[in-house]
Amino acid sequence: MTLTAVLQCAGNGRALQRPRVPGVQWVHGAMGQATWTGVRLADLLRRAGIPPGAAHVELAGWDEPPMPTVPRFLRSIPLERALDPTTLVAWAMNGAPLTLAHGAPFRLVVPGWAGDHWMKWLRSVRVVEQEARGFYMETAYRMPVQPVAPGATVPAADMRPLTVFPVKSVVARPGEGARLRAGAIALAGVAFSGAAPIARVEVTLDGGQTWARAALDGPAGAGRWQVWRHRIAAKPGIWRVAVRATDAAGSTQPRDAVWNPSGYFWNGWHAVSFEVAS
Amino acid sequence: MSAAGIAFRRALALLLLAGCQSAPAPRPPEPAHSPEPVASSGPATSPEPGPAAIGAADASPEQVIVEACQSCHGRDMLSQQRLTAAQWKRTVEKMRGWGAPVDEAEVEPLARHLASVAGPDAGPDATPSVPAAEAEAALAPQPDGPFADGDVRLGRETYDARCLVCHGDGAHGAKPGPNLIDRPILFRAAEFAERVRKGTGLMRASPDATDDEIAGLLAYLRGETRRQ
């Protein structure tokens, strides 16, 4: 089957966290949307047989850590999510066979969930009773159960695995620092939520005092993005546009994302400044 | 593993720079295992460390970076961070737990140095962005050209003579050479040959490696299987 879904790194936006946290310093680039073709993981599991007591599905890839002393990348997802009809073992992306960079020959596709679940170079799928162990389950890819003060140290017992990515929107046009002519200016970007379809996208030009509703293009759905568009008549000067999205489950992007020790799931308002020349 | 680790790193650096290929492979001690995050980011590329300084009792933090970090990480993985000395110290300790050959006495100076070049006030990160198509092309398999149909036995001998000391038994990675099994570069023969002949980071150049030896290495390494 074929579906369209956003693939986003859990750490997308980490560079925007304050105080700063270690890890790849992603800004907005660790995401993209593609059309994925594969077989439902549920169909594979049912054909293989799901033993009683099974609760999780353990996923391993063919990649090897750089040294034997470095932990292997291993993940599990709950059986319920594995049986979701949108969870695929994919072999094609945008109509072409997966490339090595994208996990050829097979990768998992878990729409709405962060990229760490989308196991690349898939080697084995095991139905098990317990959540997988190891660094990438027990230490990494975990969020505080409750929001914590920026910079706080969080006890391991107060962390849970991250799964569904929160509602988010970004400005794609104009770019930061663009110089434009006065007149009608087209603003555009994307909005998505792992939990639900996008309900609305709003644009502010005054720091959040007033908001205008943007138009949405394309099919709506959880875990896929829609393009938002909005036109303004801009007089000469410096403008700053910010955008926020709300999903059909009622979640709205906060002005400031919730800080967490590994910088996951940044989804604060995205603001872009541009200059309109006379 | 701290003191032994650093002694090993120094000895190895001297060994490599001396071009000694026939010495027996030193066995690195097993490091304590403790979890630690970090993503790798591209191939390690760096200037060669200065031979005179290698093996000095007190390595400069920059030497430690080249010797202990850049076997696995590109320099940009470090330079993009904006961390305090305390955060850097935790990161270095994590990496030591994963086997990075950094001596205990080097941790503080390294953390302070990293905080001075990649601290919270270091300003915008100058790492250029890479177009997606370029990043993808950098991993895509390429034709073997003159390195096709290598002899596995010659490859094994070449591996044992030139590579094993750093990359370990079965090429699964040791100190400081990373794992070579199932790596995309094994299917990018020309790039592999250049890496072998010119070296990179701590890896000594082998300009005399013949086409047959390189073809053999590729045949041998492609046939090796991952650890279970």
Look at A24 and B77 and tell me if their CB atoms are within 8 Å: yes
Residue count of chain B? 228
Cα–Cα distance measured from residue A10 to residue A30, given in angstroms and rounded to the nearest whole number:
9
What pLDDT shows up at residue B159? 97
Q: Are B78 and B92 in contact (CB under 8 A)?
A: no
Furthest C-alpha separation in chain A: 71
**Which residue among B91, B184, B227 places its CB closest to the CB of A100?**
B184
Query: CA A142, A144, A150: angle at the middle one, nearest 5?
Result: 115
Look at B182 and A64 and tell me if their CB atoms are within 8 Å: yes
b/e per residue A165-177 (b: at least 16 CB within 10 A):
bbbbbbbbebeee
What pLDDT shows up at residue A64? 86
Structure tokens at A41: 């993981």
b/e per residue A238-267 (b: at least 16 CB within 10 A):
ebebbbbbbbbeebebeeebbbbbbbbbbb
Cα–Cα distance measured from residue A233 to residue A186, given in angstroms and rounded to the nearest whole number:
9
Chain CA centroid to CA B9, Å: 12
What pLDDT shows up at residue B129? 80
Kindly state the DSSP code that residue B61 receives in the 8-state scheme.
H
User: Does any CB of chain A come closer than 8 Å to the CB of residue B168?
Assistant: yes
Beta bridge partners of A126: A58
Average pLDDT across each block of 10 residues of chain B; the chain has 228 residues. List them in order: 47 42 35 38 39 52 91 92 98 95 95 97 88 89 97 97 94 89 93 95 91 98 78
**How near does any CA of chain B get to the CA of A272, in Å?**
17
Contacts of A71 in chain B (CB under 8 A): 35, 98
Look at B99 and A70 and tell me if their CB atoms are within 8 Å: yes
| Residue A19: CB atoms within 10 Å | 13
Phi and psi angles of residue A253, each rounded to the nearest 5 degrees, phi first: -60, 130
Q: What's chain A's Rg over C-alpha atoms?
A: 20
What pLDDT shows up at residue B182? 86
Q: Tens digit of pLDDT per residue, chain A (278 long)?
A: 999 999 999 999 999 999 999 999 999 999 999 999 999 999 999 999 999 999 999 999 998 898 889 999 999 999 999 999 999 999 999 999 999 999 999 999 999 999 999 999 999 999 999 999 999 999 999 999 999 999 999 999 999 999 999 999 999 999 999 999 999 999 999 999 999 999 999 999 999 999 999 999 999 999 999 999 999 999 999 999 999 999 999 999 999 999 999 999 999 999 999 999 98
Cα–Cα distance measured from residue B101 to residue B47, given in angstroms and rounded to the nearest whole number:
19
Look at B35 and A68 and tell me if their CB atoms are within 8 Å: no
What pLDDT shows up at residue B226? 66
Of A226, A213, A199, give the one whose Cα is nearest residue A4. Answer: A226
- Determine whether A141 is exposed, middle or buried from the number of CB atoms within 10 Å of its CB (0-12, 13-18, 19+): buried
Cα–Cα distance measured from residue A9 to residue A33, given in angstroms and rounded to the nearest whole number:
12
- Determine whether A275 is exposed, middle or buried from the number of CB atoms within 10 Å of its CB (0-12, 13-18, 19+): middle
Look at A138 and B35 and tell me if their CB atoms are within 8 Å: yes
Threshold 0.90, pTM exceeds: no
Query: CA A90, B38, B119: angle at the middle one, nearest 5?
Result: 135
Complex confidence, ipTM? 0.93
Q: Does residue A19 have a cis bond before it (omega within 30 degrees)?
A: yes
What pLDDT shows up at residue B71? 83
β strands within A56-102, DSSP E: 56-61, 74-78, 88-93, 96-97
pLDDT digits (tens, 9 = 90+) for A136-181: 999 999 999 999 999 999 999 999 999 999 999 999 999 999 999 9
Contacts of residue B183, defined as CB under 8 A and 6 or more positions apart, other chains included, come to none
Cα–Cα distance measured from residue B11 to residue B104, given in angstroms and rounded to the nearest whole number:
17
pLDDT digits (tens, 9 = 90+) for A195-209: 999 999 999 999 999
CA atoms in the 13 A half-sphere facing the CB of B114: 30
What pLDDT shows up at residue B58? 67
**Which residue among A19, A67, A135 places its CB closest to the CB of B178?**
A67
Kindly state the DSSP code that residue B227 receives in the 8-state scheme.
-
User: Does any CB of chain A come closer than 8 Å to the CB of residue B57?
Assistant: no
Cα–Cα distance measured from residue B196 to residue B192, given in angstroms and rounded to the nearest whole number:
6
CA atoms in the 13 A half-sphere facing the CB of A86: 16
Look at A139 and B39 and tell me if their CB atoms are within 8 Å: no
